[in-house]
Amino acid sequence: MNRTFTPADKLQVLRPEYQCAALDLEPALLSSPALDTCQDILQRRLAFEFAGRLGNAILFDTDKMSMAHSLEVRMPYLDRSIVDFALRLPSRLKVHRGREKVILSTLARRHLPAEIASRRKKGLAYPVGAWRRPPLDTYVRELLLDSDGPIDRAYLQRQLPRWREKQAGDEGHIGSLVALQTWWNEFIGVKAGELSSLVAGGSA
């Protein structure tokens, strides 16, 4: 699993009052009926994506972001007839000898230049390095160091200079913390002095 922060990291990232001894992720497992329909590793992987991340993350995030900008996104490959057809296909027609999307790339060669039809799949991403460059670097520092919230300020003061120096493997840390702090400021926004009363009220 690709994680930005491990459980050990989170003991340093989060202030003590926001730490929890329980597991930070729920086990992600396929149901027995879904697992019984899978004949190989690829089918199990796709079933997991289809039953979990597609609805709970990809489509959910797409809907939230598009509607926030008054847009409605259509998903033509999720037409029921196409989904049923894709589910019936054997794995060799999906991935073969390292080549992905075998049927789509074959069809694309009839209408597109070979360099486009053979291009590997590339997900949508934002340039994570932008957090380290002006003017966003100043915004990041002010947001993370001047806001109340769950992130340990001493930890940030130690780590921010390192992340800004483009240390390998740290690309996602700043973006993840910016997202967490922005969400906190928007929806929680409690002051440090109010925290104890909230915790006491929740444990009563």
Helices (H), the chain: 7-13, 32-36, 41-48, 59-68, 80-88, 102-108, 114-117, 136-145, 153-164, 171-187, 192-203
Q: Is the pLDDT of residue 117 over 90?
A: no
What's the whole-number mean pLDDT along residues 178-201?
A: 68
**Residue 185, number of CB atoms within 10 A of its CB:** 13
Tokens 């050990």 sit at which residue?
8
Calculate mean pLDDT across residues 97-107.
85
HSE (side-chain half, CA atoms, 13 Å) at 44 = 10
Dihedral of the alpha carbons of 100, 104, 110, 111, in degrees to the nearest 10: -110
pLDDT value at 202 more than 80: no
Q: Band of the pLDDT at 20, cuts 50, 70, 90? A: confident
What is the tens place of the pLDDT at every residue in 28-77?
778 888 888 888 999 998 998 888 889 888 899 899 989 999 999 998 98
Name residue 95's beta-bridge partners. 100
> What is the rounded average pLDDT of the residues 154-168?
78
pLDDT (average), residues 15-31: 79
The answer to whether the CB of 151 falls within 8 A of the CB of 177 is yes
Instruction: Give the tokens for residue 198.
Output: 């909230």
The answer to whether residue 155 scores a pLDDT higher than 80 is yes
**Model pLDDT for residues 118-151, shown as the tens digit of each residue:** 888 777 777 777 888 888 888 999 999 988 889 9
One-letter-per-residue 3-state SS of 89-110: CCHHHCEECCEECHHHHHHHCC
| Closest by Cα among 120, 188, 102 to 150 | 188
Report the pLDDT value the prediction gives residue 181, as an integer from 0 to 100.
93
> In the prediction, which pLDDT does 203 show?
47
The domain limits of the chain are: 24-73, 130-199
Q: What is the pLDDT of residue 196?
A: 46
pLDDT the model gives residue 190: 54
pLDDT number for residue 166: 63
pLDDT at 195 over 70: no
Contact 181, 149 (CB under 8 A): yes
